[in-house]
Chain A
């Protein structure tokens, strides 16, 4: 999040990355685990960075050549930490002959970690934002950036669930998937999801209103130890044309409290959390990125 709002908001740096590099964005969780040629190549690059081990995360930024020579790897972010490194390394690389031929990594893909969008499914962008909170007063730029942060994710709606929506019903798998894995506070990092027994209320339905299919719902979730809780009302407009989901504009608006292991720094007490859903642009490369909760694919799809 910080990278999007700070590092890659710098026009000069983004221009250099566009024009001088081949930029790649990856989820460490998959790349570090996958047992195939691409995974081997990933590990061969990142483990050249001093201090990295298989037991530790390889999260960071890396500059390397096509034949796999790591030139720089680091995990200090913010534009002032990144741009000087990129510029310096680029100067050095310009004085060298680049690798011109590398073998394709076209062996079998590790199917256990393949997260291709299921055939016939729709991909929905999910955005999360804290709309109102009793934040401690601060003049720190990074703190204020965090307070305005937007969480991103994707929701998959399966073919048979689209068919059910066309018949005017919200299938329980979709309702529970949306509630358990997407009504979470992902504004500061990887959020903890709701477990199946955390859902106290999950009621989402469609009603016809003025010729449009309106989504209405209510979701209440709470952890067993009551350290994290959310209570949401949902509103939306759904359109299906010739069996294709053409519009999925939904807002979940509610109160939330608590944080997770990787989402520390939540506002104190209850705060207002908004979650917006809309169909992804199929031409956007980000639409291929799987939902965060799809790491456990069966759990995500079946949403018990």
Chain B
């Protein structure tokens, strides 16, 4: 048994369980969302000052999504 394998064995013992590669990848995919979610197709800006100048240049109004916790982060 190599040192690395021994280390894995010890960690497995400590954690009480281990995941096979397939189950690990499956779980990772199950938790992470679909990157094609519709809300992500909106080109959100995160700099209000720059967005304001852009809106004036394009002749468009601004739509603001303001949350406690960033809407593109932790909400």
Q: Which positions in A face B, CB cutoff 8 Å?
A: 1, 3-4, 8-11, 14, 17-18, 20-29, 31, 37-38, 41-42, 45-46, 57-67, 71, 86, 89-90, 93, 98-102, 104-106, 125, 127-129, 131, 150-154, 186, 189-191, 203, 205, 207-209, 214, 216-218, 233-237, 249, 251, 253, 262, 274-276, 278, 285-286, 288-292
Contacts and interface: CB of A to CB of B under 8 A. Distances in A.
B11 A205 contact: yes
Nearest to A94: B61
Contacts of B71: 3-4, 25-27
A288 B15 contact: no
A6 to B, nearest CB: 10
Contacts of B33: 127, 150
Contacts, number: 254
Contacts of A207: 4, 7-8, 11
Interface string B16-52: 1111000010011011110001110111111111011
Contact of A28 (B5, B24, B66): B66
B68 to A, nearest CB: 5
Contacts of A191: 74
Interface residues of B, number: 55
Interface of B: 4-5, 7-8, 11-12, 14-19, 24, 27-28, 30-33, 37-39, 41-49, 51-56, 58-75
